[in-house]
Amino acid sequence: RAYNFCAGPAALPEEVLLQAREEMLDWHGKGLSVMEMSHRSDEFVGIAQEAESLLRELLSVPQDYKVLFLQGGANLQFSSVPLNLLGSHSSADYIDTGIWSNKAVKEAARYGKIDVIASTADQHYHRVPQQQELKFNKDAAYVHYCSNETIGGLEFDYVPVTENGVPLVCDMSSTILSRPIDVAQYDMIYAGAQKNIGPAGLCLVIIKESLLDREVSSIPTMMSYRVAAENDSMYNTPPTFAWYLSGLVFQWLKRQGGVAAIGEVNARKASKLYAAIDESRLYANPIAVANRSWMNVPFTLADTGLEKAFLKEADAAGLLNLKGHRSVGGMRASIYNAVPEAAVDALIDFMHAFEKKYYP
């Protein structure tokens, strides 16, 4: 198999794919695949519950939080968050650090007054706002931020602390499960699955139970966190196969030693790749060192005329999906949990050799 640096849907652990293949025609001697089971069957309910309890274990999710397995991706949460959490409040606070947090602002603004309380747009999103720059509104319904901007390759090196107990909501799509977190520092976390969780089609929501009574009355039933929680995320037919595969990823992650162990590997992967970029004349990354993403490493080439050759030769060397997001250009290596350290080593070797050949 090639090394896959795609930002999402991203690489899955080979062991997980092999196990899914093994179980494809005949899951645990039942004579059918997980895709063909009723979501109400004892077998699937068992699969679903095991996935949830593994996730709870991996992230030490406190008892007073609900874990929901939803559809619609993280994009739907941009609308679900205000519809579920604005309640009787007239506004919510948002921190703007790039393309994804910006999309969340635009969508939420359809449902209420949104105040962008800090933005680093005027600094090209090369750093995140510091805690003291966050000018909270006392009566905001919640504060929303994105802990890792997948496209910009920018991440928070701290968890914002709100004032007056205003709930903190985090889009953790591209960094969840990459290292330990303290769930209790957040009131709600959401994450599209297709990076560190599993295949596309699922979106995870971890939410404090006490927030489940704020939804607006016109909320579509399918978007209500309360309804999802009351029905164990099975109000309708859930994406059963994605849920099952995510459970296999959680088992795999536990076998790796959990989030603490994978966090050490991820830190090492990121630091050697950034070091290779910083040491070269050809490659560059503009992000403030403290805010460089461990998961998404964008870089530019000093001679943009070399980009096509870089991508073509990388592809031929089995290093796939290194093209940067269409909105920003350049390159981007996404190095999620399932991308092995050997892939990063191979990429660095390739980058050195390419520089030597074309930009000596």
Of the candidate spans 20-28, 72-80, 181-189, 207-215, the one that interacts with ligand PLP by CB under 6 A turns out to be 72-80
Closest approach, Cβ 183 to ligand PLP, in A, equals 18
Minimal CA–CA distance to 125: which of 302, 298, 331, 326? 298
84 vs 173, beta carbon nearer ligand PLP: 173
Half-sphere exposure of 338 (CA within 13 A, CB side): 30
Residues in the chain: 360
Residue whose CB is less far from ligand PLP, 37 or 201: 201
* Smallest separation, CB 174 to ligand PLP (Å): 4
Q: Does 174 bind ligand PLP (CB under 6 A)?
A: yes
Segment near ligand PLP (CB under 6 A), from 69-77, 161-169, 231-239, 260-268?
Answer: 69-77
Residue whose Cβ sits closest to ligand PLP? 73
Question: Which residues are paired to 144 by β-bridges?
Answer: 94, 169
Asked if residues 137 and 87 have their Cβ atoms less than 8 Å apart, the reply is: no
Confirm whether 171 is a catalytic residue.
yes
Q: In whole angstroms, how close is the CB of 125 to ligand PLP at the nearest point?
A: 13
Residues 6+ apart with CB under 8 A from 169: 81, 85, 142, 143, 144, 145, 186, 187, 188, 189, 190
**Does 97 carry a binding-site annotation?**
no
Q: Is residue 251 marked as binding?
A: no
Nearest residue to 339 (alpha-carbon basis) of 236, 275, 278, 270: 270
295 counts as binding ligand PLP under rule CB under 6 A: no
Size of interface with ligand PLP, in residues (CB under 6 A):
11
In the bound state with ligand PLP, the residue whose beta carbon lies nearer, of 53 and 75, is 75
| Interface with ligand PLP in residues 108-167 (CB under 6 A) | 146, 150
Angle 80-36-197 (CA atoms, 0-180°, nearest 5)?
Answer: 45
**182 is an annotated ligand-binding site residue:** no
Q: How many helices (H) and strands (E) does the chain have?
A: 9, 14
Site for ligand PLP (CB under 6 A): which residue of 16, 34, 70, 74? Answer: 74
Write out the H or E segment, with its range, that includes residue 81. helix 73-85
Catalytic residue, candidates 100, 243, 252, 294 = 100
Bridge-partner residues for 91, per DSSP? Answer: 113
Please report, as a single letter, which amino acid is at residue 283. Answer: Y
Q: Which of 27, 66, 93, 171 is catalytic?
A: 171
Residue 31: which region, alpha, beta or left (left: phi > 0; alpha: psi -120 to 50)?
left
**Shortest Å distance, C-beta 10 to ligand PLP:** 9
30 assigned to active site? no
Q: Does 171 bind ligand PLP (CB under 6 A)?
A: yes
Task: Return the number of the residue (220 or 318) whose C-beta is nearest ligand PLP.
Answer: 220
Question: What tokens does 100 get?
Answer: 């994804």
Which candidate, 171, 335, 320, places its Cα nearest to that of 265? Answer: 335
Q: Nearest approach, Cβ of 334 to ligand PLP (angstroms)?
A: 10
Q: How far is the CB of 357 from ligand PLP (least distance, A)?
A: 33
Sign of CA dihedral 290, 294, 296, 297: positive
Reported in sequence order, the residue ranges of the chain that DSSP labels E, i.e. its strands, are 3-4, 65-70, 91-96, 113-119, 143-146, 148-149, 154-155, 168-171, 188-192, 203-208, 283-284, 296-301, 319-320, 331-334
| Choice between 73 and 330, CB closer to ligand PLP | 73
Choose between 73 and 263: whose C-beta lies nearer to ligand PLP.
Answer: 73
Pairwise CA distance, residues 256 & 26, whole Å: 27
Q: Which among 195, 252, 269, 323 is annotated as catalytic?
A: 195
Residue 100 appears among annotated catalytic residues: yes
* CB nearer to ligand PLP: pick between 107 and 215: 107
Feature table: binding site for L-glutamate = 40
Catalytic residues: 100, 171, 195
Question: Interface with ligand PLP by CB under 6 A: which residues?
Answer: 8, 73-75, 100, 146, 150, 171, 173-174, 192
